[in-house]
A and B are shown apart, each in its own frame.
Chain A
Amino acid sequence: MKNKFILAMAVAALTLTACDKDKNDDNSLSLENDIKAAVEQYVPNVIYTTYNDLAKESNELYELLADASEKGVNELTQDEIDAICAKFLQARQSWEESEAFLFGAATDFGIDPHIDTWPLDVPSLATALSNTEQVESLEGEDGIAYASAKLGAELLGFHGIEFILFRDGKNRTVEALRGNEDDEAFNGKTVTGAQELIYATAVAGDLRDNCYRLSVSWNPDAPEAWQERCEELEVPVSMTGSDKTYGENMLGAAKAGSTYATWQETAASILVAGCSNICNEVANVKMGNAHNGEDENYIESPYSKKSFQDFIDNILSIQYSLYGKAGATTPVSNSIINVLKNYNYNGLTNMQDKLKASVDALKACQEKGAFVDIYDDDLVQDAMDVISELDEELNKAAQWIVKQ
């Protein structure tokens, strides 16, 4: 379900029950205050923390790749390649764990499509990397700017780097990088591993810059070096027509100048624009288009075969948003979940059950195989179904909150 808030009778019943139970003169005002406290917990401890991790890890990935490229493939060890691959997966995890709050900078500045477009256009990559002049342009510090401006999103972002680092679900071998690229799209073209590393380094630099921008656009206290890099790139890092960051805007809800008119509507945005949206994306697009369209070209992360892990991290992103802390396995006291609990929202158990069931269903898929290999399996349909049910529960909770 994408169309939010179109509700069934069950919700009306929940609303009635909750109202009756909590009817008292101070209920609404204290609810507002409790939501405010939950949002004040959520913004720094979920959004700022996740984007901070992402920016830091993407920079480490860039530096590892730059070092490897400078060292040269003949001197590179398998351990060093494995370390780069591990760092890639760490940064990838942070990105997937941020997808329950794609609203704001990631969407408004087009960062999401810039760094996470798939599928990778491998034949165009082959053409680009077999062009000596283009590879030279990608080399060195200026290579990042060249990649950002000239390569196009279909060759940028996580999946371009993933292609260089992984094949068939495994880390690339040092031997493979010492030879020429043998993917069939490169037939008739001579592209060396060294050239591939130059490309991956430039793309990682562009990825790093965009992750810095995400952090700086939300968190007014993001590290100075990241802010300076954004200034150097001359990219906007505040909301259009304002000098406020996205974080300041959300924390300033219910005040003049914020796009969030009330605290209840802020909570609804976290639940719907954030959590529900990624539920829909996972169930109906990331999984659904491959499963229903019967076309593996719709599959994300096919080279590392980490699609199911991506989806699990997406659902965990919802969990952290609801629990009030990145990485949380239980709710912190000021959290959206506890607001719902403290005001006796009757749908809470259902929502929590569906959250857990979604992760379990994805883990069951993961155990059976990689998404690219089992995308038409019944287990995929089961996972899609339960994630859609979680989506419905998130919308019901949002509707309940705005009606209090």
Chain B
Amino acid sequence: MQIKGFGIALLGLAVAVGCTDGNSGLNESANNREPDAKYVGQAVGNFSADEWYPGGQLGTTDNVTAGCYEDETPSVEKQGLMTAFNLGQAAFERKYTTYTAPFKGLGPAYVRSSCLDCHPGYGHGKRQSQYRAEFGNGYLLVIYHPVDNQNSDDGPYVSEVTGMPQTKATYPFLPPIDEEQIDIKWLSVNEMPSGLPMKFPDGEEYSLIYPEVNIPESAFNTSPTPYQTGAVAFRLESTIGIIGSGLLDAIPQDSIREQYRSEARFVDLNPAFWNKETNDFAAGAWYGYEKLGEGSYADGTPASTDTKLLKRFTYAMTRASLQDGAGANAIWNITNVSRSDRPYLYTTKAWAKAMSENAQVIAAIKADQSSPYYADGTDEGIKEAVLNLLDPSTNQFDNQWHSFSPEMSDDQYYNFMVWHRGLSIPRARNLNRAEVQKGKEVFNRIGCASCHRAKWTTGDDNYWKPKVYADKELPQYKNQTIYPYTDMIQHRLYMINGIHGSWCRTTPLWGRGLSRENTGAEDRLHDNRARNVIEAIMWHGYSKDSDAYKCTEKFYNLTKEERDAVVEFINSI
């Protein structure tokens, strides 16, 4: 079925509303909650009609039941991309294996064997009390050398394990980290340094917990271990929501520049991204041709060698185009599945060295002549093959030891990105309710919207794409009014055991209120430390240095009715 478009959907709604008007007040249910469907697409209270469609006409699904995070955007069907979307969805959901098509090439070391493990129900990961590379655990370990040699949030990643550390390996290799030795403790906050009490003025209490992670040196199957190169600290970072990413990719760079300018007047922004003196982006805000590689734009124009795109994806804002973003990267490095544009393994020299020196590994390979690491069958020959083939700088398709073939085809990769760019945002819920309208008013009044900016307008969405897609098109979102509730800028909250690097992009709030229906959990913040919306908000006020402290203080002083209204609002957008 071709999607008939917003106008026709509105007509249907108008008919339904007309029907209801004749029965005013009769549709109240036992708890005075009526379905919102009859109001969808209408201006209600302080909401405009288009706020029902946070992803715009081309990016919103009207489905709000369990599983709605899986829906494609109307653009996907409109552009005739459903087959590619469905095949790409399989690439996301299925387990990757070592040898069995269609999803083969797992390992030799890997983080997870399926994207769905980290994005259960297409949402955030769930809070874990132990680290196992399995379904529901969306955590990436963050292992770094803290600048203070103790527990600072800042410091460079260790080089002995990959930036996204692997706890799994295919036979006969050992994982870079033995996950059974990873210790996660959840500790309670007794009082916040900001001085905000752990009880609201009306007496209602809240509690905050945070993770403390430790990995002993014995867990590392690397040579050397990170402990041999400096002090080591650990953090957890959970997967972020993946819905609506294509819409964020379509926000014009100039619009984001204006947002930086408007905020820079009031708050210090990350100097790596914003130059206060020139009142413009710093060099670090850009992602250039040298990293992107050859590509073109949606309109077919080749991307020149001076191409530079604005970083906008991941907590640390390390990626610019979605087509070279977290998903495009993860489908390669989480599974370690190679493809024609990614001929290298995601490994480290320290792991390759450790495996090449492991007697059990050598013996197992020696017993299997069909192993690609068998070489001449001597201990020395196998050692050399392992050391070089596991090295991240060895071209897996062209080397003297064993040339592998790309494990993911270009078509599979393209399908995956159609799916990725094609995930929709569910429509807003309950905007007709007085509590939700009140929540919006309070949310704006106390300043939450300063960072959780509601409204953006996409431009011509002339997206960048890599050469490997050739002339194939992706879902496109031209001139859409969208409501992601993010400023696309990093801020600092200064939480205890905070996020690595201290700066974190404001998380989009759209669709998050349906997390429980889609994933069975509603944990929030970068390491899932917040068990509900109230906890997530109060973490913003942990320190007086937090960019959001003043807003949080205002939230703290609201009445219970107002607090509940803000929560209802956040869960409805």
Contacts and interface: CB of A to CB of B under 8 A. Distances in A.
Contacts of A107: 66-67, 121, 520
Interface stretch (B68-76, B233-241, B254-262, B459-467): B68-76
Given A32-B29, A108-B121, A114 B516 contact: no
B424 A123 contact: no
A282 to B, nearest CB: 12
B98 A403 contact: no
B325 interface: no
A5 interface: yes
A279 to B, nearest CB: 12
Main secondary structure of the interface of B (DSSP, over half): loop
Contacts of A4: 61-63, 65, 68, 71
B160 to A, nearest CB: 26
A132 B333 CA distance: 32
Interface stretch (B33-41, B197-205, B501-509): B33-41
Contacts of A122: 100
Contact of B66 (A7, A103, A152): A103
B101 interface: yes
A124 B97 contact: yes
Given A23-B23, A119-B100, A154 B74 contact: no
Contacts of B136: 109-110
Nearest to A236: B520
B352 interface: no
A254 B33 contact: yes
A262 B63 contact: no
B95 A262 contact: no
Nearest to B26: A28
A264 B35 contact: yes
A104 interface: yes
Interface string A234-261: 0000011100000000000011100101
Interface in B24-50: 26-31, 33-35, 37-38
Contact of B62 (A6, A108, A277): A6
Contacts of B86: 284-285, 288-289, 292
Nearest to A263: B29
A293 to B, nearest CB: 6
B267 interface: no
Contacts of B72: 2-3
A152 B100 contact: no
Given A15-B12, A292-B83, A402-B35, A297 B102 contact: yes
Contacts of A120: 100
B95 A124 contact: no
A384 to B, nearest CB: 11
Contact of A239 (B63, B85, B520): B520
A15 B62 CA distance: 17
A27 B1 contact: no
Interface string A86-125: 0000000000000000011001111001100101111110
Contacts of B520: 104, 107-109, 239-240
A288 B117 CA distance: 24
Contacts of A6: 3-4, 9, 61-62, 74
A19 interface: yes
Interface stretch (A43-51, A171-179, A266-274, A312-320): A266-274
Interface string A2-39: 11111111011101100110010111110010000000
Contacts of A185: 99
A3 B135 contact: no
Contacts of B270: none
B178 interface: no
A309 to B, nearest CB: 22
Given A4-B62, A4-B71, A388 B1 contact: yes
A297 B101 contact: yes
A195 interface: no
Interface string B469-499: 0000000000000000000000000000000
Interface string B95-126: 10111111000000000011011001100001
Contacts of A332: none
Nearest to B19: A19
A193 to B, nearest CB: 22
A12 B11 contact: yes
Interface residues of B, number: 75
Interface string B516-538: 11011110000000011000000
A3 B73 contact: yes
Contact of A16 (B19, B27, B74, B77): B19
Contacts of B532: 241
A2 B102 contact: no
B34 A262 contact: yes
B16 A1 contact: no
B377 to A, nearest CB: 15
A3 B94 contact: no
A153 interface: yes
A273 B97 contact: no
A398 B67 CA distance: 15
Contact of B77 (A1, A32, A109): A1
A206 interface: no
Contacts of B27: 28, 404
A127 interface: yes
B102 A259 contact: no
Name the residue among A5, A107, A289, A399 with the largest chain B CB count within 10 angstroms. Answer: A5
A8 B1 CA distance: 9
A298 interface: yes
B531 A241 contact: yes
B359 interface: no
A295 B70 CA distance: 23
B171 interface: yes
A285 B65 contact: no
Given A5-B63, A12-B15, A289-B90, 6 more contacts: A3-B73, A103-B67, A107-B520, A240-B521, A273-B65, A284-B86
Interface of B: 1, 3-4, 8-9, 11-12, 15-16, 19, 22-23, 26-31, 33-35, 37-38, 61-63, 65-68, 70-74, 76-77, 82-83, 85-87, 89-90, 93-95, 97-102, 113-114, 116-117, 120-121, 126, 134-136, 171, 370, 424, 430, 516-517, 519-522, 531-532
Q: Which 7 A-B pairs have the closest CB atoms?
A: A108-B520, A110-B135, A4-B63, A5-B62, A12-B12, A19-B19, A121-B97
27 contacts: A3-B3, A3-B61, A3-B63, A3-B74, A5-B62, A27-B26, A103-B67, A103-B517, A107-B121, A108-B121, A109-B136, A109-B520, A110-B120, A110-B136, A113-B116, A114-B135, A154-B95, A154-B113, A240-B520, A241-B522, A254-B30, A262-B29, A272-B65, A285-B90, A288-B83, A293-B87, A293-B102
